[in-house]
Structure 1
Amino acid sequence: MRTARRRGTLAAASLAAAASLLLAGCAASGAGAQPSRVAEQGPLSDRTGGRAGRSAPLPPPSPLPVRGVLPGVGPRTLAAVPADARQVVLVTGAGRDSSDSQVTLYRYDDTAGWTADRPAWKAHNAQRGWTDRHHSGDLRSPIGVFTLTDAGGRFADPGTRLTYDHAPIGFTNNSIGVSGESLHDAFDYVIAINYNRKPGMSPRDWTRPLGDSRGGGIWLHVDHGGPTQGCVSLPASAMKTLLRTLDPAQHPVVVMGDAPDLSR
């Protein structure tokens, strides 16, 4: 009988102790409570390979994209630049109806984004300025983004990686410009702008995918001291620099138009 009573007493004591522990556990969730041993080990999800708790360090922020920073070029124009293009010849016209422009060569750097290769060159575009729908004879240069794949000239290849058509007779021009100046040296070096033409052909190829009425033969070529009929003309030294620098592996393009249009 004494043994049974003793066992009852021990059982009652055990129940009281368990109740005390349960009360202590609830109190641990209140203000000023001491953290339990489990809490010191961190959130359960941390210990089971799940999502980190609030105290876990946040991952570093993703770097901001820098590809979109091309001076003077707005989002609409920039969206037309191919994602694989790492060289841009930027032709910025002084105004919609102006024949004065400047040309800057940009390279794409994985860290810095678009960076100017050298200072801008002064250039000329068409006599009446720019248009977003070029037609033959309108004396305006087409606005847009166009690939650059083919070159040629009256003079021998100065060391370009573009395909080059050396044709001393084929690129001789004995006519005069819109201001009466000689065009004899204008085609010493040319780079075909892939507007209404078939890429991969000589600049002298006259295939017109959009039809003859939409014009063609739009080139970068040597400046002759006056406006063009639709091309963009630069100093001979600038043309040689472009020819030696442009690389098909970098997918070069020309971005061209008047400053207000390009900024949109």
Structure 2
Amino acid sequence: MRRPTARRTCLPVLVTVCCLSVVSCGNTPAPHASTHSAAPSSGTPAGPRGPGPGSRPDARIPGLGPATQAAIAAGTRQVLVVTGDPSTSPSHASASLYGREDTVGWRRVAGPWQARNAVRGWTRDHRAGDLRTPSGVFGIRDAGGLLPDPGTRLPYDRSEEFREPGTGFYGESLEGTFDYVLAIDYNRRPGTSPLDKSRPLGEEKGGGLWIHVDHEGPTKGCVALPRSRMRQLLRLLRPEHRPVVVMGPRAELLR
């Protein structure tokens, strides 16, 4: 695959994830130069503010147990919760975005949305090529894609290197899968393009995990959302709220 030089534009403003691709999810191309300063990180622990219709305020995010909730940094105000149910399907999940207000606690501000994860389900010990999505709490602070910035306040890297012409596990086209992506801060350097290939924990631990556009099939390790939901999510996230993704099977998140 030819790897053109891409430009990273930064606007003010959660296996190997993903995918079945030569571009992401464990097979990212050469990193881009970045104007961001970043320290190596293996995974960093989150929300928009404001109540969502039909949801109630709470000191704890619904569906998260005390141990999971405690893993979310105190300064986090946005949390994307991706919940899998292996008893139903190893690669289908549900995603909701929660925001925290000082006076009322946590509220759901978007979702639930249909989501997908890796073809072999979830793992607490992700390895390169295991076709599982890592569970845990991870920062989501860097975005990009093949298409122009849809209006996110996160740093956004538009590049032709996000083009993916391949096919998925069901023979489905992967075209457009990386039109919009969010890098999951698992074994990567936060503050760099999603295309960055740095692996602070080593290549054997995988990397290149993204939240990206659903291609109607399971991923290699990423999380996938419908196209309209990806655009919505990108517009809702605020870097000053230190957004994170909390993801894994339902029983594990309830701990």
Asked if the contact 1:68/1:78 (under 8 Å) is kept, the reply is: no
Report what 1:45 is aligned to.
Answer: none
**Structure number having the greater strand percentage:** 2
Report what 1:257 is aligned to.
Answer: 248
Asked if the contact 2:173/2:215 (under 8 Å) is kept, the reply is: yes
Report what 2:110 is aligned to.
Answer: 118
3-state SS of paired residue (2:229): helix
Match of 2:125 among 129, 133, 137: 133
Distance 2:125 2:110 in 1: 31
Report what 2:148 is aligned to.
Answer: 156
Distance 1:199 1:119 in 2: 26
Distance 2:189 2:169 in 1: 27
Report what 1:109 is aligned to.
Answer: 101
Match of 1:244 among 217, 222, 235: 235
Distance 2:111 2:188 in 1: 30
1:217 is aligned to 2:196 = no
Asked if the contact 2:58/2:107 (under 8 Å) is kept, the reply is: no
How many residue pairs match? The answer is 198
Q: 1:111, CA displacement in angstroms?
A: 2.0
3-state SS of paired residue (1:76): helix
Q: 1:176, CA displacement in angstroms?
A: 1.3
Q: 1:261, CA displacement in angstroms?
A: 0.5
Asked if the contact 1:95/1:260 (under 8 Å) is kept, the reply is: no
Asked if the contact 1:90/1:256 (under 8 Å) is kept, the reply is: yes
Aligned-partner residue type, residue 149 of structure 1: R
Distance 1:190 1:246 in 2: 13
Q: 1:68, CA displacement in angstroms?
A: 4.2
3-state SS of paired residue (2:64): coil
By relative contact order (CA 8 Å, sep 6+), the higher-ranking structure is: 2
Aligned-partner residue type, residue 101 of structure 1: A
TM-score, normalised relative to structure 2: 0.75
Distance 1:206 1:70 in 2: 33
Give 1:1-264 correspondences, 5 Å limit. 68-95=59-86, 98-167=90-159, 169-264=160-255
C-alpha RMSD over aligned residues: 1.3
Distance 2:98 2:105 in 1: 10
Asked if the contact 2:117/2:223 (under 8 Å) is kept, the reply is: yes
* Structure 2, unpaired ranges of 5+: 1-56
Asked if the contact 2:141/2:155 (under 8 Å) is kept, the reply is: yes
3-state SS of paired residue (1:119): strand
Measured against aligned partners, the alpha-carbon deviations of 1:195-215 in whole angstroms (never above 9, x if no partner) come to 000000000001000111111
Distance 1:233 1:116 in 2: 20
TM-score, normalised relative to structure 1: 0.73
Measured against aligned partners, the alpha-carbon deviations of 1:116-170 in whole angstroms (never above 9, x if no partner) come to 0023100100001100010011111000000111000000001111100011x21
Measured against aligned partners, the alpha-carbon deviations of 1:195-253 in whole angstroms (never above 9, x if no partner) come to 00000000000100011111111100000001000000001110011111100011100
Distance 2:63 2:212 in 1: 23
**Structure number having the greater helix percentage:** 1
Aligned-partner residue type, residue 131 of structure 2: L
Which one has the largest radius of gyration?
1
* Structure 1, unpaired ranges of 5+: 1-65
From the superposition, tell whether residues 79 and 67 of structure 1 become closer, same or farther in structure 2 (CA, over 3 Å): farther
Measured against aligned partners, the alpha-carbon deviations of 1:86-126 in whole angstroms (never above 9, x if no partner) come to 00010001127710001100000112211000231001000
3-state SS of paired residue (2:93): strand
Identity %: 53
